[in-house]
Amino acid sequence: MNGAESLVRTLVAGNVDVCFANPGTSEMHFVAALDRVEGMRCVLGLFEGVVTGAADGYFRMRNRPASTLLHLGPGLANGLANLHNAKKANSGIVNIVGQHATYHIDYNAPLTSDIEGLARPMSAWLRTSPDAQSVAKDGAAAIAAARHAQIATLILPADTAWNEADGIAAVPQDAQRASYSREAVEAAARVLRTGEPTLLLMTGGALTERGLALASRIAGKTGCKVMGQTYNPKMARGRGRFAIDRIPYVIEQALPSLKDFRHIVLVEANDPVAFFAYPDKPSLLKPEGCEVHRMTDQGEHSVAALEALAGVLGAKAADAQPQQLVELVQPTGALTHAAIAMAIALAIPENAIVVDESITTGRGFFPPTAASAPHDWLQNMGGSIGFSTPVATGAAVACPDRKVICMVGDGSAMYTLQSLWTQARENLDVTTIVFANRNYQILKGEFAGVGAGEMGARALDMLSIDRPTLDWCALAKGMGVPARSVTTAEDFAAALAQAVAEPGPKLIEVVM
């Protein structure tokens, strides 16, 4: 078998059995191997940002890596923005990038570029296979790295794919990983026992149904507050689950939300920091004198740590805080932000996966959707817009039995709209809701936030995308996804009901 086949067989044997791909000439032997190897599902994207974002969504839902297949430096470059988002989400990806044959690189052909240089900023693990005999072993090492929730970039020169290889390689045994630190749990318990105002700030693996239930008990027992980061890779939400607030995005709201805390206990979360810097406003959001204590870090077992913490504190199920949920009432009339939020909260079906890139429109979605049917809520961790439609695509590939609801602003959706085609091709069960406010609405607030003064006509022109208006029904139709446009709450509710009832991709344009 050749190097490409040895790699595909190694991937399948290593449980990496989905490949999101946009291949070119240098990857043709990998593509050819798909016909000789059983067990690899290859999903085509028409743009590389779809490919890498889909791999992010897949990891978030399955907690194991998919692979990508990208065409040399520029193909990788097109995928970097969503690799950035995936890196910040701690999503593991076996990121495979073709390269010219080793002996061809120095001739500076048109597609030659510094692929390792391009990959390095987003890759925790990075290797160019030197020969066909190394490809399987390198692929296995990439799988091992990606299982540790990292981007592992494997660059595959064409001759290492077509030359004869030795066979497949086994993924190296996992090193024993720390579950959590008992000392850190006891330190957290000491803080919580002081009775001083304390925030339990959670993200990552802590935000499962079980992790949240434990946090609720701890809060009930000790009086601490529990919050999530502004953005979280995946959060269990909906009826019967402990509903927590997140730190607000807007710094003028974030600062008061944290101002009274004397301690912050971090459960995988970061010391809270402003998304952007603003003149004369702080970068760090905690108040002066607030002490920060890390209980778990990314990669540790936060739920086990929370179990231990609850045990040390004697926090029991009966201590869980009672919750006041918003009453959900079918909205009517104009498509206000509140009406949109309510309609979505009512429509989310049991076990749905909600991918949230709603930006300004969605700032009020959290309270009503806490009363929705149980679901998972995925957010953008790296701030590079165009994340949601690819992540929804990958999540739908990962979980074919779950409805995926992708909520996205029209500005964001344009970056990676090619996702819709892959959803149509694979008949993925994704409902995309595009909030067509026809602005980079968030930037209007940011313009004021950074103290840029009064907005003149030219500045306004750079933040408005209404000339011409985008016709999302036409764009969806162009890529084979049925769509409808709504302008009232009643129409929106009807469109959502239809989309939830029927499987397969749909798009709803919410004209605001």
- Integer Cα distance of 205 and 126 in angstroms: 26
β-strand pairing of 151-157 with 125-128: parallel
Residues 266-285 that bind a copy of itself (CB under 8 A): 270, 273-277, 279, 283-284
Grouping H, G, I as helix, E, B as strand and the rest as coil, residue 292 is: strand
Residue with tokens 């743009």: 47
User: If 0-12 CB within 10 Å is exposed, 13-18 middle and 19+ buried, where does residue 250 land?
Assistant: middle
Q: Which is nearer to a copy of itself, 24 or 374 (CB)?
A: 24
In this chain, which stretch among 167-175, 330-338, 345-353, 471-479 interacts with a copy of itself, using CB under 8 A? 471-479
Residues 217-256 that bind a copy of itself (CB under 8 A): 231
Q: Which is nearer to a copy of itself, 118 or 406 (CB)?
A: 118
Chosen residue from 142, 200, 443, 496 binding a copy of itself by CB under 8 A:
443
Q: Which residues contact 179 (CB under 8 A, 6 or more apart)?
A: 300, 301, 304, 305
- Integer Cα distance of 442 and 249 in angstroms: 11
Answer yes or no whether residue 373 interacts with a copy of itself by CB under 8 A. Answer: no
Answer yes or no whether residue 100 interacts with a copy of itself by CB under 8 A. Answer: yes
Q: Which is nearer to a copy of itself, 339 or 508 (CB)?
A: 508
Q: Which is nearer to a copy of itself, 367 or 449 (CB)?
A: 449
Number of residues lying near a copy of itself (CB under 8 A) = 101
In this chain, which stretch among 58-66, 167-175, 178-186, 420-428 interacts with a copy of itself, using CB under 8 A? 420-428
Residues 54-93 that bind a copy of itself (CB under 8 A): 73-75, 77-78, 80-81, 84-85, 88
Query: Rounded to a whole number, what is the largest CA-CA distance in the chain?
Result: 71
Answer yes or no whether residue 194 interacts with a copy of itself by CB under 8 A. Answer: no
CB 394 within 8 A of CB 55: yes
β-strand pairing of 235-237 with 375-379: antiparallel
In this chain, which stretch among 191-199, 255-263, 356-364, 421-429 interacts with a copy of itself, using CB under 8 A? 421-429
Residue 401 CB, nearest distance to a copy of itself (Å)? 23
In this chain, which stretch among 55-63, 154-162, 196-204, 353-361 interacts with a copy of itself, using CB under 8 A? 154-162
Each residue 108-147 as x (binds a copy of itself by CB under 8 A) or -, in order, gives xxxx-xx--xx-xxx-------------------------
User: Which of 253, 292, 270 has its CA nearest to residue 202?
Assistant: 270
Triad 446, 449, 454: Cα angle to 5° = 90
CB 378 within 8 A of CB 355: yes
Q: Phi/psi at 55 (nearest 5 deg)?
A: -65, -35
